[in-house]
Amino acid sequence: MSKPCLRSQKEAALSRRDFLRLAGAGAAALLMQGCQKATPATTPTVVPPAGPISSRVAIGQATSYEQTAIREKVRQLIDDLGGLGDIVKAGDSVAIKTNLTGGVNSGKLAGLAPID
pLDDT at 107: 56
User: CB–CB of 103/109 below 8 Å?
Assistant: no
Phi, psi torsion values for 25, nearest 5 degrees? -65, -40
Residue 7, pLDDT > 60, answer no
Q: Report pTM.
A: 0.36
56-74 pLDDT, tens per residue?
777 888 788 788 888 888 8
Q: Which range is least confidently modeled, 51-60, 61-70, 85-94, 100-109?
A: 100-109
Residue 110 or residue 94, greater confidence: 94
The residues, any chain, with a CB within 8 Å of residue 96's CB and separated by 6 or more, are 74
**For residues 10 and 51, what is the distance between their CA atoms, to the nearest angstrom?**
75
